Each structure stands twice: as C-alpha cells, then as structure tokens.
Structure 1
Amino acid sequence: MSRQLITFQLGDQVLGVDIMAIREIRAWSPATPLPNVPAHVRGVVNLRGVVLPVLDLRCRLGWGTTDPSARHVIIVVRIGEQLQGIIVDAVNDIVTVAAEDMQPLPEMGDADASRFLEGLATIEQRMILVLALDRLVDTVALADAA
C-alpha cells in the first residue's frame, strides 16, 4: 500500500514525514526560549492561542544547530496528542511512496540513526529519510521543563 509524504530539506538531506501528521506549514517566527529543556527544544511559539513547542530537527538528529532565518519554515505536526513545530530549511513537495520503495535502515552497529527514522524511500533517484515522529519527542524532558 502506498503512502504520501511531505518532503523537506535539512542542508543537503531530504527527509519526509507522513502527510497525515502535518497540520500546518508556517513561516519562521522566533521562539520564546524555556529554561531547563534539551538543546533541541528551541522554545515555544503561539499558534492562534495554542502554545507550541518548537524542535530544532537538525540538532535532534545530531547534525549541528539551526541558525534560523526568514527562509526557514516550521512544520506543525501532531505527535501523539500534542502539536509540535519542527524547524526545517525548506519544504519540497508531496511524494507518493509505494510499499516496495520503502527500505529498512541498514544495520550500523552502535549508530542510533534508526532511533529517529522509520526507513528510507527511493523516489526518482533521490534517497528520502523517513522520520518516525513519535520518536523525536522526549515527553519526560518537556514535562520537567514546565
């Protein structure tokens, strides 16, 4: 069975998330920092009266820190029962991935790449890293910050 992904950029990497998890794509707006949160939590923004945690996806994946500018966007996704924002460089497009085009992550010893990824999709010679959104959020850490 096929599924649709929204693809986006983080540097040279193309990543994707299931389109059903996306609630909104919005322009970058500065987040209000919170004390005692993990480094990948940039803070919170107000989304029409809802306080939304904003995650630096680059930092969460161990690829450095995002220095947000007007060209960055926040993808609002539903993770569990909560809306979260993730900072990305740019949104690309919507792709349909057939089940046979999804590949499991290769075994890489102690590397924990699979911690945040559900697999790899190959579309038109492009490799797309498919995020496992439910693994991105450390709910305990956010609860401790409040």
Structure 2
Amino acid sequence: MKTSPQQHGAAAPAASAQPGKYLTFTLAQESYGIPVLQVREIIRLCPVTAVANMPAHVKGVINLRGKVIPLVDLRVRFRLPVGVDDERNCIVVTQITAASGGSRLYGIVVDGVEEVATFTAQDIEPTPDFGGTLDSHFITGMAMSGDGVKTLIDLDKIAAEDGTHSVRDAREANGSPPAVVS
C-alpha cells in the first residue's frame, strides 16, 4: 500500500513551478498557465492535417511558415467537456524540450488567452494530493491570483506522453541508439 508524505507527517512537496511570468489561458472555463518563455507566438485556428494512428487529443499537424508543428487539443487531453469553437479559440505555439535533448515547436489549442501574469514564490502552491484517481504529474503547481486559482502545467511532460515525439526522439528516450540509415 502506498502512503503519501502527508500520511507520514512529512511536509508537503514543494511546487515545481518557478516564480516568474506565465501566459494564462482558459480551457472549459478553467484557468491554466505555462511559462511565458516557452511561448513563441499565438495564432488563430488554421487548417489541420490529420495524422493516422495518433491519440484522440493529437489533432494533427499545422504548417506554420514552412514548419510542420504537432497540434494538441488540451481539452481532450485533460478530459474536459468539449466546447464550441469561437473567435477566442486559438493556437499557442510553444517551444518544448524534445526527448533528444534539443527543442521543438509544439502547438496547443486553447479556448482563449487571458494575460501574461507574474507569480511570486508566495503565489505558487504545490499540487494538492488528488489521490490515486487523478493523473496530476504534469501539474507543476497552483498559482493564486486575484481572480482565482490557475493550474500551472508542464508541456514537456505532456508532450513526452502524447505521441508527437519523432521516432528518433522516442528511441533515444528509451535508451536505444538512433537508427542508422545506409
């Protein structure tokens, strides 16, 4: 039987989210945030090319000025109610860490962008213990703001699990050497 640190009387784990500036956005009327330094640009919804055998939350890829970028619907990924597309929906193009150690572009569909907010260490609380029923390892902390609580998320962890890494990244993440083509 697993026990949590709280059951042993230990202090709750510290939030892994760092103080700083975050882009906040909405999904199903809830507020989320990602470090603003990961954001490359915000664009309107655009045509998406589907890719076979991807999980339901991977909408496909988009072509952004000649670069092919995987596009993920965070509503579907987080099992939130499906919303109606409107003019506030947009794509946040981010730069994340690839399994190979480099970086890559990654698009997320959000219901709307709120603001760039600055959170201090005092504003950020650790992720609460939701019990064993909720997969919350991608939540880095909860930020308190004047208009409520914002869930801070780790896009690197989400992307590592969503099937958008290339075969090479996946092989390297598993400790396999890159495939050699002759």
1:11 aligns to what?
A: 28
- 2:53 pairs with 1:36: yes
Give the length in aligned residue pairs.
144
What amino acid is the match of 2:125?
A: Q
Does the Cα contact within 8 Å between 1:71 and 1:90 map onto a contact in 2? yes
Partner AA of 1:129 in structure 2: T
TM-score (norm: length of structure 2): 0.73
CA contact (8 A) 1:61 1:116 kept: no
Q: CA RMSD in A?
A: 1.9
Distance 1:62 1:46, change over 3 A: same
**Residue 71 of structure 2 aligns with which residue?**
54
Tell me, yes or no, if structure 1 residue 110 matches structure 2 residue 132: yes
Structure 1 distance, partners of 2:49, 2:107, is 13
Q: Structure 1 unaligned segments of length 5 or more: list them.
A: none
* 2:128 counterpart SS class: coil
State whether structure 2 residue 24 is matched by structure 1 residue 2.
no
TM-score, normalising length from structure 1? 0.90
- The partner residue of 2:121 within 85, 96, 99 is 99
Q: Which runs of 5+ in 2 are unaligned?
A: 1-17, 98-102, 168-182
Q: What amino acid is aligned across from residue 58 of structure 1 in structure 2?
A: R
Decide which moves more: 130-139 or 42-51.
130-139
The structure richer in strand per residue is 1
| Structure of larger gyration radius | 2
- The alignment-based identity, stated in percent, is 33
Over 3 Å counting, the alpha-carbon distance change for 1:42 and 1:68 in structure 2 is farther
1:94-146 CA distances to partner (integer Å, 9 max, x unpaired)? 110001110011112113342221110001141000011111113682336xx
For 1:70 and 1:7, how far apart are their aligned partners in 2? 17
What secondary structure sits across from 2:159 in the alignment? coil
Match of 1:23 in 2: 40
